Amino acid sequence: MTSHGSTRNSTGTNLDPWYHHYADRAAGLSTSEVRALFAVASRPEVVSLAGGMPFVSALPSELIRSSFDRVMTDSGPQALQYGSGQGTPALREQILEIMALEGIHGSVDDVVVTTGSQQGLDLVTKLFINPGDVVLAEAPSYVGAIGVFRSYQAEISHVALDDSGLVPEALRERIAELNAAGKSIKLLYTIPNFHNPAGVTLSRERRLEILEICRDNGILVLEDNPYGLLYFDGPPPQAMRSVEEDGVVYLGSFSKTLAPGFRIGWVLAPHAIKEKLILANESAILSPSSFSQFVVSEYLRTADWKAQIETFRGVYRERRDAMLTALGEHLPELSWTNPNGGFYVWVTLPEELDSKAMLPRAVKELVAYTPGTAFFADGSGQRFIRLSFCYPTSDTIRLGIRRLATVINGELEL
Ligand code: PMP
């Protein structure tokens, strides 16, 4: 019998009368104990370095409000109506302009607007993954992607990552092992820029090498890039999609460069795939929110959105600096990554510590983080924690790191 975590309460008792009715894929949808702790961590006295919430207060709310108003005045009936399953042509044109900043030159025909890039992940997985197919993903990888892959019963195979991103040699070896075992490898899922959770960026040489490996092995690359424009010390190498069109599905999002509340992301698909993708989008949601698309489009047309992204960079750069300095002052014996953009620092704990076991103690000390185990499909990751610097102010970050040092030093003394 398959066990369905989502249908059990915290003591493991089965209270759901439909427990035996679920499809096998529902087994992948389980609540973690980490989520329960996050409920506690959301108390105002707890410094949360756990979530990845963008600092939307830095947005020009008046400009966004006036975009809303103009949409209602000029295009109310269309904005309130169902729309195309591919997204509005105006927004798709603007998305091309944004992608051009990262070296991507696609066709407006191949852009599909989605309800956040999370839905792009879901659609691509739905199109390509049969139960048991392999998805290669960095070790660690984005928790939300792991959830999607699991929900389609993929086998997730992690590949080593270091300070320059995914390691090509490790990828080659893993592919050889999986091929020898007769597995069907469908996708390589990668976050090349300012990785969530690892904070690292894939070097240009590795991008090219990885593309070649995937091309040689018939593996489709799923390039997830929500953070690429949020760089602090200079732009990252150009997108993988900028050098390879047919073998890369690119995911973009307005969640980090504008606001996640609009729930607007996009897929730039190889031309051959885009028709299926639109059909999958229509089957899932009919059409992405017309209203959100109109407002985002109007905002992009009338606001200095590049200056706004620069503002975000400044806010996050200052917070990153605060976090790295505080780590250096209070936890010098640990090691961590040095992100050049994005939201996250990935910390390695001393071997004897277990980040998941330590979390209740941290919450007691009024600080929260995400344990590394959330980012591995195979239950590993105990020695790591992800710290987010995107939402709390620099002062709050410093307070949080001081508290974290108390927790870690206390654990080491036990
Ligand atoms: N991919 C990555 C790597 C992310 O960090 C996130 C959000 N945390 C997403 C995808 C999903 O973002 P959205 O659906 O808001 O575009």
Query: Would you state the pLDDT for residue 29?
Result: 82
pLDDT at position 13 over 80: no
pLDDT at position 108 over 70: yes
* CA of 196 relative to ligand 1 center, distance in Å: 9
Query: Would you state the pLDDT for residue 391?
Result: 95
The pLDDT > 70 percentage for the chain reads 95
Is ipTM over 0.85?
yes
Query: Would you state the pLDDT for residue 8?
Result: 45
Q: Residue 391: which of 48, 55, 50 has the closest Cα?
A: 55
Q: State whether the beta carbon of 117 lies less than 6 angstroms from ligand 1.
A: yes
**31-84, pLDDT tens digit by residue?**
765 676 677 778 899 999 998 999 999 999 999 999 999 999 999 999 999 999
What does pTM read for this prediction? Answer: 0.95
CA distance 52 to 61: 21
For the CA of 142, the closest atom of ligand 1 is: 3
Give the tokens for residue 128.
């390509």
Query: Would you state the pLDDT for residue 14?
Result: 67
Query: Would you state the pLDDT for residue 33?
Result: 58
Q: What's the mean pLDDT when you consider all of the chain? A: 94
**202-228, pLDDT tens digit by residue?**
999 999 999 999 999 999 999 999 999
* CA of 290 relative to ligand 1 center, distance in Å: 21
Q: State whether the beta carbon of 259 lies less than 6 angstroms from ligand 1.
A: no
Sign of CA dihedral 48, 53, 54, 56: negative
Query: Would you state the pLDDT for residue 7?
Result: 42
Task: Indicate the DSSP class of residue 329.
Answer: H
Residue pair 172/213 in contact (Cβ under 8 Å)? The answer is yes
**223-268, pLDDT tens digit by residue?**
999 999 999 999 999 999 999 999 999 999 999 999 999 999 999 9
* CA of 74 relative to ligand 1 center, distance in Å: 31
